Structure 1
Amino acid sequence: METSTAAAGLNDRSLGWLRFMWDKATTEDDWSDQGEPHVWWDRYSEPPMCAFPRFDLAEMAYVLPMMLEATPAWREGYTRILDELARRYMTFWGAVDWNTLIGPDPNVDRYPPEWLAMAPESLRGRYALPGWTGNGVEPWGLQPDPIGSDGNLFYRGWLNLLLGIRRYVSDEPREDIPFEVSGYQNRSFSWTHRRMARFISDQLAARPQGTHCENTKIWLFCLSAAGLGLRLHDVLLGTTVNEPFLRWVSFAQKHYMGRDRKGRLDWVAFYYDPIEESLMTFPGRLGAYGALCLLHYLYPQDEQLGIDLYECAVRQLGWNNPDVPVIQWADDPQMLSTAMWMAREIGDDTTWNRLREICESRLQPRFFGEDDSRFAYWCGFPDPWPRGQINATLMMIECAEPGAWSRVFNKPMTGLSGEPTVHGVDYPLFGIRRTHHDRRRGALEIDTFAATPSQRGRPTSFTVGNLPTSEAIRVRVDGRPYESWRRTAVGSVEIDLPVDTHRIDVAYAPPHHLTPSGSGSDRKARP
């Protein structure tokens, strides 16, 4: 069932996706109201509700803390990508729906028929569908700040999660540093990560039903993502901002979900509109998708509820039944990949194998770009670039061992700032596939590769820092003693070598040194 292991390092598919993420993040484009995001930022998937480029920004971040398990000593490349994602998120285009979809929807009676399935039947033709944010509608009126508003939870909820991931990956305490977000008519609003998390938490505490996303809908999907961001804030900073969300989960199970006579979860609402007093659920087997979309966000916070949601979905869809063919009742690769991810998490081999075969045969996994050094799933779309939102979840099954996503929120690798680090890597010329700090032996192992294969053999250098003070530093490359290195500071060495696949061993303890039992732990991925 495994697709990658931290012991082996990042697999080739993960490295190819990382390279494309780097391309997207570091290629300049204009997200102001005078510009437009590059075409490769996904604002095409999941219409009408998710066809905005910020969903690509938020979801693209998910694999980075998972990848960190394989390369805990190298984080600078991931941090650079996260900085570029967050920078774009705070722009006009990051909140384009809140800034432009003002008041009642003028096209409320002209939706295509396939979109009408996303509205309660009794309201169709006179009710704004998901995707119409409705800044300015009653009962709150126009609110220029996309964070400090009554609605728009999905904007600040995913931003809080994104900043939490950045905090974890970088280990840099920036939660009290102000940042500016662009609101209605280009007004600028100042927030901090800590203050935003507290605002989300206080708003949840004041609204037991849940906070609104589009005015006036309460989405289980958006609330679950917001709660996960609060969970990460608590784990990293020792706060308790997630407690109101956990109370909401109990409320949601009573009012937005239902169980059959056997106690099994039987249905899950898509959203609730407290103004219309209307609960939106999908009919028949389509209702399973309302459960699937919550898994990434709820399973790390409530394992049993996550399992209940998953079992409800695959039972209704028949995906866990080897006697019936796999039918995708909605053409949505994200839901397929979410079920596949969860099957791997809980060891459901039957469902995993069935869905993995579909994924490999129909979703067009392939390497592309210069030297075929990028990787993505193309999913049958004719676009010149792979869809970011869809690949963000698909790549969660490629980039780490089972359990990696949940460990970010429950057993994070804190304290890495006290471990040896690798920095100054000339990525994407040169790349890091794996690092492993063997504390017992007193050495850092580093596996490298040519991230730009056409430049293989070109000279490069990088630094290994934060080594314990020692005169006994020894470097081996590919199993042999290596001399092309120098000390640059106390506990820091710079290594010169050609761009290529290498196994590098930087030992800082005297030969035959063994750390006494119990004095340290291995810093590769957790079992």
Structure 2
Amino acid sequence: MSQTNSRSRRNFLKGAAVVGGAASLGACTSPPSSVNSSPSAIARYESSPSFYPKHNERTKGWMRFIWQKATTADDWGYSEDIERPWGINLPRGEIDWTEDGKGPHPWWDQYTGAPMLSYPRFDLADSSYGIMLMADQTPAWREVYTRIMDELATRHTSYWAAIDWNTFMGPSPDRENYGPLNAPGYQAWPEHVRGNYDSPGWTANGVEPWGLQADPIGADGNLFFRGWLNLILSIYKYVSGDDKWEQPWQIAGYENEHFEWTQPKIVEHLHRQYIKHPEGPHCENTKIWPYCNSAAGLGMYLSDQLGVTNSHGVFENWVEFLRENYMGINDQNQIEWMTLYYDPLADFKVNVPGASAGGAGTAFYLMPQSPEIATQIYDALAHASGWRDPAREIQPNALGMVMAKALGDHSAVDRLSAAAERYSGPKWFGEDMDKFGWWFNYGEPWPRGQGSAQQMISEIAEGNWIDAFKVKHLDKYTAPTLEGVDYPSLGVDTAWNDKDSGVFNIGTYVADRNTAGQPTSWQITKLPDAAKAIVICDGATITNVQVVNANTIRVPTDIGQHQYQIYTGYFGEEVAMAKPVPMTVASASSAALTRRTAEQNAKAAESVMASGATGCPCCAGAA
């Protein structure tokens, strides 16, 4: 051990509030008679002081529910008698909330954004964003987030995840029934296509010029399947550090035919498509959506940030195409219109005034990867919607609030947060009132998955949508790690390696009030020298810690609220990610091969906001 590390260990011992004579487990256990079983005392503790990132009560309650959703088995597999999904039907009728074991559990959101987004895979994607940000708050404890992400990813490779591509074959049988009330963008359809054209949401697998494409990933279309799948798999990689999805796995396609893929191969397929189609791949045959392309680009970006691929440069060409073809920007640099979707075969675009045509979603996905244009869209939305205007009453906008928080637009954050509290139905629920979600006053049995997950991103106290994609915690995979926690009985709200002091800080809480006070244990792995570890719990040194091996200790404790300081001797190490060889870019410009760092992106966004170049009157005079 170095002299510096020796001094740090001595300082840790001298500075610890060691209770005289307390050298046993007793300091971190509570006798059964002392356990207060009331929900307020067990299920939701008030926050205790912490100098490190710490989950708040709502965040812990939401994770309790998403854990239940993710780990409860349901059937996303193939069946010959699968009924057409609710969201594509005309008329749609009432939602059937019956849980009969057939198909995805009804708590997976299959209802929001019909007919385009009313499929449970979009709940999987939206839920993954909060998990990513939560994992960044406790980088030294990852096992529960990894399990949740793996369950989400596994569902997204099932037959039901691509239910639209696998079952909406040929032209829609409802073509003659479409109109302004059930076909988004209908008002902009040319007269000659009305009555002979498919509504958004109808994937039309099998139509010419592509014919039947049984593979939902390998198809020319269906970007809104593989783009989000790649994003989920990339988030899994960052959360866990595991290469599971980089190894071959099977995707279920038309009539349950299976196809072999890996996450890097998805990126390769996307890369080829963006070279061949600068306008972007399409989702349904034959509609190209800027919203979906933005999400696909973010998955490519994160994969590159993690060193798995090197592909995002070609997507930056699409961003320029977006600016020049899917946005109308006047001489004052103001957004006059944005394209909702474009059909290159029918040769028309659905343009909507301002930035309201999917602008929030497009900007949300572009913000970490292309912040200048995302900030311009955000600013237009903020101005048009009155997010900064105290004289206007505003409606909630979950993605708008995520972006406002990431950009430091505190006025918008405060007003959007107040609107969400007023209109979006935040509520605790469950038998023990230990789960939290956003209900939107729908009167449904469970929180709406997509909207609730989007709203939760802003609830993660120190979470920041832009910062999350800077992948700051790549050293977590080799740093001391908390493992073997008995979740969902015992929860962890703090898990942070302080690399300046060599101390691992852990906070635990009762996640299931019915198990409070029960004995349990957990392990710290990847220690530099397990024999030299010192464990202090609630100010008292624990001496009955078991040394499992040279790098692992087991700590006996109970299911309760405790604060631990563990001297580990870990002072950090930098992780240099080796970049793959850039993918072949046949005709792309050299600019497309340049991948800016996340830090450069963030500075670019700040310059846009500071300059007032977005044309927003609120920012124009700030220079």
User: Scaled by the length of structure 1, what TM-score is found?
Assistant: 0.91
Q: Deviations over 1:188-215 (max 9, x none)?
A: 1011111111111111111111101001
> Given the alignment, which residue of 544, 552, 566 partners 1:492?
552
Q: CA deviation at 1:112?
A: 6.0
**What's the secondary structure of 1:506's corresponding residue?**
strand
Q: Shift in Å at residue 264 of structure 1?
A: 2.1
Residue 323 of structure 1 is matched in structure 2 by 391
CA contact under 8 A between 2:506 and 2:565: conserved in structure 1?
yes
Change (3 A) 1:379 1:257: same
Tell me the CA shift for residue 121 of structure 1: 3.8
Match of 2:356 in 1: 288
Instruction: Give the secondary structure class of the aligned counterpart of 2:356.
Output: helix
Shift of residue 468 of structure 1?
A: 1.0
Deviations 1:80-110 (A, max 9, x none): 0111111111111011000100000010121
Q: Which of 468, 491, 504 lines up with 2:528 in the alignment?
A: 468
How far did 1:488 drift? 0.8
Q: 2:306 aligns with which of 236, 246, 253?
A: 236
Separation of aligned partners in 2, 1:227 and 1:204: 10
Which residue identity is paired with 1:234? D
Pick one of 458, 465, 468 that aligns with 1:408: 468
Q: Distance in 2 between matches of 1:412 and 1:124?
A: 50
Does 2:485 correspond to 1:440? Answer: no
Aligned to 1:201: 271
2:317 to 224, 230, 247: 247
Q: Which amino acid aligns with 1:306?
A: A
Cα offset for 1:125? 3.9
Q: How far, CA to CA, are the matches of 2:286 and 2:541 in structure 1?
A: 66
Q: Where does residue 165 of structure 2 map in the other structure?
A: 98
Corresponding position: 1:55 with 2:122: yes
Measured after TM superposition, the shift of residue 5 of structure 1 is 9.5
| Distance in 1 (alpha carbons) for counterparts of 2:221 and 2:51 | 41
Specify the alignment match of 2:206 in structure 1.
136
How far apart, CA to CA, are the structure 1 residues paired with 2:389 and 2:331? Answer: 21
Tell me the SS of whatever aligns to 2:118: coil
Work out whether residues 189 and 348 of structure 2, in 8 Å CA contact, stay in contact via their aligned partners in 1: no
1:358 to 396, 414, 419: 419
Which of 454, 457, 469 is the aligned partner of 2:517?
457
Deviation of residue 319 (structure 1)? 2.9
Q: Could you say what secondary structure the match of 2:216 adopts?
A: coil
Alpha-carbon offset, residue 250 of structure 1? 0.5
For 1:39, the equivalent position in structure 2 comes to 106
Displacement of 1:296: 2.1
Q: For residues 124 and 344 of structure 1, do their structure 2 counterparts lie closer, same or farther at Cα, with a shift above 3 Å needed?
A: farther
Shift of 1:266: 2.7
Amino acid at match of 2:380: C
Call closer, same or farther: CA 1:470–1:291 in 2, change over 3 Å: same
2:444 is aligned with 1:374: no
- 1:6 and 1:388 mapped to 2: Cα distance? 32
Q: Structure 1 residues 262 and 208, CA, compared in 2 at 3 Å: closer, same or farther?
A: same
| 1:11 aligned to which of 56, 70, 73 | 56
Note the C-alpha offset of 1:443. 1.6
Unmatched 5+ stretches in structure 1: none
Equivalent position of 2:398 in the other structure: 337
Deviation of 1:267 after TM superposition, in Å, equals 2.0
Q: Is the 8 A contact 2:478 2:526 kept in 1?
A: yes
Which residue of structure 1 lines up, in the alignment, with residue 331 of structure 2?
261
Once the two structures are TM-superposed, the CA of residue 435 in structure 1 deviates from its matched residue by: 1.0
* 1:499-525 CA distance string (max 9 Å, x none): 01100111134xxxx97xxx769xxxx
Q: Equivalent residue of 2:70, what SS? A: helix
Distance 2:546 2:341 in 1: 60
Query: Offset of 1:300 from its aligned partner?
Result: 0.3
Q: If the length of structure 2 is used for normalisation, what is the TM-score?
A: 0.78
The whole-number CA distance in structure 2 between the counterparts of 1:416 and 1:427 is 20
CA, structure 1 residues 289+323, in 2 after alignment: closer, same or farther (shift >3 Å)?
farther
| 8 A Cα contact 2:221 2:286, kept in partner | yes
C-alpha separation between the residues in 1 aligned to 2:493 and 2:207? Answer: 50
Is structure 2 residue 75 aligned with structure 1 residue 30?
Answer: yes
- The alpha carbon displacement at 1:229 in A equals 0.5
Q: What is the distance in 2 between the residues matched to 1:51 and 1:87?
A: 19
| Letter in structure 1 aligned against 2:416 | L
Looking at structure 1, the residues matched to 224 and 146 of structure 2 have their Cα atoms a distance apart, in angstroms, of 23
Letter in 2 for 1:412: K
Distance 2:50 2:556 in 1: 28
Report the CA distance shift for 1:106/1:95 in structure 2 as closer, same or farther (over 3 A).
same
Number of equivalent positions = 503
**Which residues of 2 match residues 66-145 of structure 1 at below 5 A?**
66-111=133-178, 113-119=180-186, 120-122=188-190, 123-145=193-215
1:302 paired with 2:370, answer: yes
Give the direction of change, closer, same or farther, for the CA distance of 1:289–1:478 in structure 2 (3 Å limit).
Answer: farther
Unaligned runs of 5+ in 2: 1-48, 80-101, 575-598, 603-623
Secondary structure of the 1:218 match is coil
Does residue 152 of structure 1 match 2:152? no
User: What SS class does the counterpart of residue 41 from structure 1 fall into?
Assistant: coil
**Which of the residues 60, 65, 72 maps onto 1:20?**
65
Deviates more, 1:13-22 or 1:313-322: 313-322
Q: Aligned equivalents of 2:499 and 2:277: distance in 1?
A: 49
Other-structure match for 2:262: 192
In the other structure, the counterpart of 1:483 is: 543
Q: Distance in 2 between matches of 1:280 and 1:88?
A: 33
In the TM superposition, what is the alpha-carbon distance from 1:348 to its structure 2 partner? 1.9
In the alignment, what sits opposite 2:84? none
CA deviation after TM superposition for structure 1 residue 61, in Å: 0.6
What amino acid is the match of 1:180?
Answer: Q
2:9 matched to which residue of 1?
none
RMSD across aligned C-alpha pairs, in angstroms?
2.1
How much does 1:128 deviate? 1.2
Q: Is the 8 A contact 2:115 2:201 kept in 1?
A: yes
In the superposition, relative to structure 1, how do residues 6 and 290 fare at CA in structure 2: closer, same or farther (>3 Å)?
farther
- Work out whether residues 426 and 460 of structure 1, in 8 Å CA contact, stay in contact via their aligned partners in 2: yes
Maintained 8 Å contact 1:440/1:520: no
In the alignment, the residues of structure 2 paired with residue 72 and residue 300 of structure 1 have an alpha-carbon distance, to the nearest angstrom, of 20
Cα pair distance change 1:457/1:402, threshold 3 Å: closer
Per the alignment, residue 231 of structure 2 pairs with 161
| Identity within the alignment, % | 39
Q: Summarize deviations over 1:248-296 as a string: whole Å, max 9, x none.
A: 11011000001122112332111111011111123x46x5242111122
* Aligned 8 A contact 1:6 1:434 in 2: no
Q: Is the 8 A contact 1:288 1:316 kept in 2?
A: no
Question: SS in structure 2 opposite 1:31?
Answer: coil
How many angstroms apart in 2 are the aligned matches of 1:189 and 1:29? 22
CA shift in 2, pair 1:426/1:112, >3 Å? farther
Structure 1 stretch displaced more, 122-131 or 44-53: 122-131
Query: What's the CA shift for 1:18?
Result: 0.6
Residues 435 and 154 (structure 1), Cα distance of their counterparts in 2 relative to 1, 3 Å cut: same
Shift of 1:402: 4.9
- SS class of match (1:145): coil
Distance change in 2, residues 1:465/1:402 (3 Å):
closer
Q: Report the Cα distance in structure 2 between the residues aligned to 1:196 and 1:131, rounded to whole angstroms.
A: 22
Give the distance between the partners of 2:461 and 2:211, measured in 1 at CA: 45
Change (3 A) 1:117 1:217: closer
